[in-house]
Amino acid sequence: MFFLHQHLDDFDEFCHNVRAWDLDYRQIERGRFNSELLIYGNHQTQFTHARIGRKMLQRGTSPEGLISFGILADPGIQINWRNIDISGDMMFVFPENGELNSITHADFNVYVISLSEDQINKECELSQVPDIRTLLDNNEVVRCQSGAIQELRSWLKDIKATLASPSTSLSDAVLLSHIEHGMITRIISLLAGQHESVKKNRLRKRDLALYAAESIIAENSSEVITISELCEAANVSERTLEYAFLERYGLTPKAYTTMYRLNNVRKQLRQSAPDELHVYDVARQHGFWHMGKFSNDYKMLFSELPSQTLRR
């Protein structure tokens, strides 16, 4: 059994502490990162609450061997998740061994339930409903009855408050059993009840161009890619590519590539000891040659100098 409840100001540390998840976060909004993370469970049951106070590009994979369900903690917020616009009355299912790809804003606030398939199917059998694969029917997102998902959201809020309370005995096996059973029965009830499948948005020319450009940037992450090169690879005009990036990220293609490389610099600095390298060398490796501008851009994005990141 494990428990973690922290307020973190570093998104690499946040990703590291999300047990069993393989996450890669990149900050795409200026300002210091801040977050709250609570995780409780064991190898076959996890309850997670995550709140993040900066706009982020989130990528990675969910815990292996578990089926993970996401519910927005605040029904008033929205996220773009795997090319689907998620709102408060939807529950989304993380793809097993698949890439989670989302853009979240500074109001991101989510509950995640991770359970083993065997656990869920035992309850399905007792409840005399089809197994979880049949209930999901290959859907990644379902729109639930507002009252049903609100009941689940309220229950999860109470569970989070209970776990965060200093008076709670976190080694209590009865508590974990209660949480586990409550999560399973409510998930099954949502899926067995009236709900509607939500399909991915239809890919437009600008969407395909965006994905092509993103791939080029990721594959050449330490190089300065020109807008002309991106347009040629995506086979679109500069205006179409700019519309695509502004719509998805609120950034121009040039600003996105700079942001992407700054995040790469930061990851390298975070993984190194101060006596192992020099900030100047890392900056040059990622295509930053004007150190004054680089330091200024870096500080504006992360609210600290690159030398401060290296000393963390």
Residue 103 is given by DSSP the state: E
Helix, strand, coil content of the chain in percent (nearest 5): 45, 25, 35
Question: Is 143:88 a contact under the CB 8 Å cutoff?
Answer: no
Candidates 2.40.40.20, 3.40.50.150, 2.60.120.10, 1.20.120.1200; correct CATH number of 2-197?
2.60.120.10
For the packed helices 238-249 and 253-270, what is the interaxial angle rounded to 10 degrees?
A: 50
pLDDT at 110 over 80: yes
Q: What is the per-residue pLDDT across 243-298, written as a single tens digit (0 to 9) for each?
A: 999 999 999 999 999 999 999 999 999 988 888 889 999 999 999 999 999 999 99
> To the nearest whole percent, how much of the chain has pLDDT over 70?
100
Candidates 1.20.1050.140, 1.10.10.60, 1.10.3470.10, 3.30.930.10; correct CATH number of 205-310?
1.10.10.60
**Residue 171 pLDDT:** 82
Q: Break the chain into its structural domains and give their ranges.
A: 2-197, 205-310
Three-state SS at 104: strand
**Residue 68 pLDDT:** 97
| Distance (Å, whole) CA 260 – CA 214 | 10
**Residue 254 pLDDT:** 95
pLDDT at 83 over 90: no
| Distance (Å, whole) CA 47 – CA 180 | 8
Whole-structure pTM value? 0.93
